[in-house]
Structure 1
Amino acid sequence: MKILAIDTSNDCLGIALLSEEKVIGEYITNVKKNHSVRVMPAIEQLLLDCGTETTELSKIVVAQGPGSYTGVRIGVTIAKTMAWSLGIPLVGVSSLAVLAAVPRYFSGYLCPLFDARRGLIYTGLYKYDDGVLINVLSDRNILASEWANTLNSYGEPILFIGNDIPIHKKTFQPILEEKALFAQIPEHNPRPSELGMLGINLPAADVHSFTPNYLRLVEAEAKWLEKQEKAND
């Protein structure tokens, strides 16, 4: 079995090729560039370097969101297209779970996050239990200050992970104090190989009905709905 993992849900672009036994190849960049232009060449180059044809792929695993609206949409669209054209299973995994999976050595709670602007974050709470990543509190879009107060009720240390930590660190530290720990710089990039491993045994989704998980409406959609509600009053 050869699995292709695709993550374009945030600034990081990640592609991995793996099997049940090993990570065959992995490509990651953390730069603000257009994923729509770069993702297919990255996939093609990785497969070429690994001596793998697309016909050898057994499953596509994609980061389903949350994250950048455009980024999530790009990854999901490409994953759906490849899975449908190759006739292979498609699996979606939370982009936050991918980030939480990286520091598997940590015995406390894991808190991945992406900035969602205006004091909001995309986040969830995770923990490893006998080597399995467990979702303790579901992924959500929430004010960082409100999330900090929610986490304060948990007795164990909490490790925050993600490239957007510096934006919200000042919010978490005063509330959580010594319980708030922060991952090292190399751990802040979501690993596409972890994405592949998280999805390796998950059941296939229906390709045609599979959609991104944005966790909230984009601003344009929210404004349109607001106008429609006012017009119907």
Structure 2
Amino acid sequence: MQRAKPSEELLVLALDTSTAVLAAALTRGGEVLASVQSPAERNHSAHVVPAVQKLLADAGISPGQLDGIAAGIGPGSYTGVRIAASVAKTLAWAWKLPIVGVSTLEALAVGAWREHAGQGSEAAAASHGGAADAAASAVAGSMELAGAGVQADPDRDRPGAAQPDTDRNQRRTVLAGADAVVASWAVPLIDARRGQAYTALFAASGREGWQRLETDAIRLASDWARRLYERLEITNAAERPERIVFTGDLEKQEGSISLLESLLAGLPGGAPAVARQPHVMEGRSAAWLGSRRLAGGEADDAHAFVPNYTQLAEAEAKLLEKPGEA
């Protein structure tokens, strides 16, 4: 079996058509070689293949050089989630490449968190080539240490501790960046009409990395706000995030965000700040998530690759509601 490359060496093609934006990117590690971001919700099927061709041409990359394909699998637009999945599985089969599915909600969340984390940090921007990149690198670094069986523990850097210089320097660099990352929750919201939203919950911190806390699901928005409050309520005050970053369909979901803010006003022990981060889907976020899976040796079955529909299409639901229909 071929040994998986580290994520920073992987050349990945990523695409997502689950939202109003067609997002695609070609990345190697954290570097974006080419990207497409096109707001053409009703024409994704017509534009996705030309977008892939343009990415490869702009970067001077041939399909044979790719290490894998990452495809956003939703949830989101019923038609949209099928487009990226169908194109990605066809390309993976034709080009004999591994394919991995990534959550559209997670890609949306990590992109918005990355933007929010980079705001107002001039020092990080100067020393790391961008505050957002610095924050993301710190989180990724903590995850890599954990994945290698190394705990991000400051006690290991105590004077006199026996460890190789390279190991010690790597850990100190990661820990220094980790301390600068504000512990946050990221909550993506894609409007699902009728007071509902496709949503999930993620956490980002320099010490723990990027983690999923709640699964992708369609939820009543008001119930979701109360669930987030209840989760904070049972969490030790010292372990709560410093901020909650909402993103996605913010205007359509303002009611639930405001509801959470009103509930937080009475939270004992102090409440996190609530932030609204405008953000549209980026291919680079799907590529980052896909690279993590590929670097771990994961791959989905191209022939059985299907999107996450989350719920039946409205037409199917109405059909099933008809008397006498099975």
TM-score (norm 2): 0.66
The separation in 2 between residues aligned to 1:72 and 1:132, in whole angstroms, is 28
1:173 and 1:180 in contact (8 A); partners too: no
> Pairwise mapping of residues 216-231 of structure 1 onto structure 2 (< 5 A)?
216-227=311-322, 230-231=323-324
Richer in helix (by share): 2
CA gap of 1:96–1:21, structure 2 versus 1, over 3 A, is: closer
For 1:151, the aligned partner's letter is L
Counterparts in 2 of 1:222 and 1:180: CA distance versus 1, 3 Å:
farther
State how far apart, in whole Å, the 2-side matches of 1:55 and 1:13 are: 24
1:181 aligns with 2:274: yes
**8 A Cα contact 1:24 1:50, kept in partner:** yes
Bigger strand share:
1
Q: Is the 8 A contact 2:245 2:275 kept in 1?
A: yes
Gap change, CA 1:39 and 1:232, over 3 Å in 2: closer
Greater Cα offset, 151-160 or 13-22: 151-160
**How big is each residue's C-alpha offset from its partner over 1:186-233, in whole Å with a ceiling of 9 and x where there is no partner?**
xx1122111111111311001111111011111122223333xx4279
Q: Within the alignment, does 1:152 sit opposite 2:237 as a pair?
A: no
The answer (yes or no) to whether the contact 1:160–1:180 under 8 Å persists in 2 is no
- Whichever of the two has the greater Rg, that structure is 2
- Structure 1 distance, partners of 2:299, 2:275, is 34
Alpha-carbon deviation of 1:122? 0.1
Q: What root-mean-square deviation, in Å, do the aligned CA atoms of Structure 1 and Structure 2 show?
A: 1.9
Give how far 1:19 is off. 1.4
Assess if the C-alpha contact under 8 Å between 1:120 and 1:143 holds in 2.
Answer: yes
Among 303, 320, 325, the residue aligned to 1:208? 303
For the 8 Å contact 1:152–1:176, the answer to whether it is kept is no
Asked if structure 1 preserves the Cα contact closer than 8 Å seen for 2:245 and 2:277, the reply is no
Q: 1:90 to 1:160 in 2, by over 3 A?
A: same
Other structure's SS at 1:165 match: coil
Q: Percent identity?
A: 38
Aligned length: 228
Where does the alignment leave 5 or more consecutive residues of structure 2 unmatched? 1-9, 118-181, 233-240, 265-271
TM-superposed CA distance for 1:59, in Å, is 0.4
| Cα separation, 2, equivalents of 1:231 and 1:159 | 46
Aligned-partner Cα distance in 2 for 1:232–1:7: 34
Give the letter for the 2:34 counterpart: G
Gapped regions of structure 1 (runs ≥ 5)? none
Q: Tell me: CA distance 1:113–1:232, structure 2 relative to 1, closer, same or farther (3 Å).
A: closer
Structure 2 counterpart of 1:39: 48
